[in-house]
Amino acid sequence: MRDPLAHGWMSLRPEATQKAVMPTSTVHLEIPASGAYLSVVRAAATGLAAQLQFTYEEIDDLRIAVDEACTQLLARRGSATTLRVAYHLADTELRVDVSIEAPDRGDPIAKDTFAWQILTAITDEVSEQAESDRLALSFRKAGSRA
């Protein structure tokens, strides 16, 4: 029988035990503009953050941020029927873009609200984009693994 370590498909050499770098990728999710589907958005965020090796606390913060961002947009959805979420994965961080499109969407989120304070406290960066027929929230959460 051949030694698998000797033929390179399994190796314990130092270069094989170094941390693998994850390529940047994006996951898109579209759900009905209803709070009944937010568990799907939270579950996706949880799975992706676990893949990036976020700590349990970082995953909890991310779940809260995703839920808060979606809830704020759903409260302003007007005639929008779809909530769009894009998860942008990098080596140690996850950026989340949440958006609705409707000509009668509500006002942008006021920066002096409790919801905005939560988002800014538990994420590394948060921004809002308001256009004539689109409202979006984006935030970034970095994991602590080095």
In a domain, 100, yes or no: yes
d(CA 70, CA 132): 19
Task: Tell me the average pLDDT across 46-51.
Answer: 95
Confidence of residue 51 (pLDDT cuts 50, 70, 90): very high
pLDDT in tens, 52-98: 999 999 999 999 999 999 999 998 888 889 999 999 999 899 999 99
Report if residue 45 sits inside a domain.
yes
d(CA 5, CA 9): 7
Mean model confidence pLDDT for the chain:
84
More confident residue, 46 or 106: 46
pLDDT value of residue 56: 95
Q: Pick from 32, 134, 136, 28: which is nearest to 82 by CA? A: 32
Tell the residue number behind the tokens 């509500």, with chain if given: 106
Q: What is the CATH classification number for the domain harbouring 33?
A: 3.30.565.10
Overall domain count for the chain: 1
Helix (H, G, I), strand (E, B) or coil at 44: helix
Structural contact between residues 85 and 98, judged by C-beta atoms closer than 8 angstroms: yes
Residue 10 inside a domain? The answer is: no
Containing structural domain, residue 92: 21-142
Tell me if 13 is assigned to some domain: no
What is the pTM (predicted TM-score) of this model?
0.80
DSSP letter assigned to residue 91: S
Please report, as a single letter, which amino acid is at residue 37: Y
Assigned domain for 43 exists: yes
